[in-house]
Amino acid sequence: MKISKSRLLALFAISVILNTIALLGYTYPRLINKFQQYTSQRQHTLQTANDTTLYINGQSLAVYGKYHNENNWYRFPSSLKEKLRPEVWELSKNSSGIYIDFSTNSPYLKAKWQLKKGLQPRNMTAIGASGLDLYVKENDQLKYVCSGIPDQLQNEQTLISGMDSSVKDFRIYLPLYNEVENFSIGIDPKAFHNTPKEHPSEQPIVFYGTSITQGGSASRPGMVYPSIISRILNKEVINFGFSGNGLFEKSVGDAIIEIDASIYVIDCTPNAHPITIQENALNLIKQLRATNKQTNKHQYSL
């Protein structure tokens, strides 16, 4: 069958059009994405150049929920790395339960925080796993204000703006299921800032438990149950929840007896096999009681 020249030209034109459409369909979104990235970076650069915000290292403020003074956001000090199971040590680098208290009259608050890994596990929100929670004290009660929502490993956000010039007491909770590499708070350079006039000074409550204690699957950092208890009682709480690894371990006991605690709450049962409970639980309690004899038996929860 002979095809006419005009039909061949028509088929060729259709082929060119289809290939052009396919090529545009592949490259156009990528070009747009590259352009948006460039303009976003350019805008951020211009904003940064004009930004006079004073950023304060979070470590220089009143830090609670960790019992050591290392310049990191780990729940255990680095000296214990070789004494703990690797799984427990890695989870202890998640900043669950750690919070910063400070006072300021700044009209706005910003935050910068850098994360170590992906934003969220499958069963959690990105805010709970990798975000921040901001609270303010009103009538001697801490009230939720807003959350810092992570969208990448390096985050920079305005948490709140348009506030009056009165001095307010704030609290910021760090992520539950991520490692924070650095964290700072941004205020107006002309504003006052300090640690709060009143903050918990008594012996902390120490929790040792499972993913439930660590914060799975709390929607945001301030909603993990030990932190809720902390706000209700106005007491510092130190959170040693380790997802899938609450096993009544002696090595963890060796670590937490370093803390002069008012109460030890042991909430490991959901992770532990009955044999593990039988072999480890009572020994852990005896270990804690031998060190802190003033803690009576009613102050342990299994």
The mean pLDDT values, 10 residues at a time, for the chain of 302 residues are 64 66 56 52 54 95 96 98 98 98 97 93 92 97 97 97 97 98 98 76 92 96 98 96 98 96 95 96 94 58 51
Number of residues in the chain: 302
Does 2 fall in a domain? no
Does 4 fall in a domain? no
* Residue 290's CATH number: 2.60.120.260
Domain residue limits at 119 = 54-301
Contact 298, 263 (CB under 8 A): no
Q: How many domains does the chain have?
A: 1
**Burial of residue 66 (number of CB atoms within 10 Å: 0-12, 13-18, 19+):** buried
- Which two structure tokens, joined as six digits, stand for 225? 């149950």
Does 24 fall in a domain? no
Does 7 fall in a domain? no
Give the per-residue pLDDT at 20: 66
Q: Closest Cα to residue 131, out of 119, 116, 144, 118?
A: 119
Contact 126, 150 (CB under 8 A): yes
Residues 6+ apart with CB under 8 A from 117: 153, 178, 179
- Which two structure tokens, joined as six digits, stand for 166? 């009165």
Give the per-residue pLDDT at 41: 52
* Bridge partners, residue 114, by sequence: 154, 182
Does 44 fall in a domain? no
Per-residue burial over 173-201, b if 16 or more Cβ lie within 10 Å, else e, is bbbbbbbbeebbbbbbeebebeebeeebe
Hey, what's the torsion of the CAs at 4, 10, 11, 12, to 10 degrees?
110
CB 136: neighbour CB atoms within 10 A?
17
Rounded to whole angstroms, what are the CA distances from 6 to 10, 11, 12? 6, 9, 10
Does 285 fall in a domain? yes
Contact 208, 266 (CB under 8 A): yes
Sheet holding 180-187, edge to edge: 54-57, 180-187, 109-115, 154-160
Contact 177, 130 (CB under 8 A): yes
Does 32 fall in a domain? no
Query: CA 42 to CA 29: how far, in whole Å?
Result: 20
Contact 236, 65 (CB under 8 A): yes
3-class SS of residue 55: strand
Q: Closest Cα to residue 98, out of 120, 86, 113?
A: 113
Rounded to whole angstroms, what are the CA distances from 172 to 112, 116, 206? 12, 19, 20
Query: CA 131 to CA 176: how far, in whole Å?
Result: 8
Does 14 fall in a domain? no
Query: CA 253 to CA 247: how far, in whole Å?
Result: 11
Give the per-residue pLDDT at 300: 47
Contact 193, 62 (CB under 8 A): no
Provide the whole-model pTM.
0.82
Q: Closest Cα to residue 220, out of 156, 176, 172?
A: 176
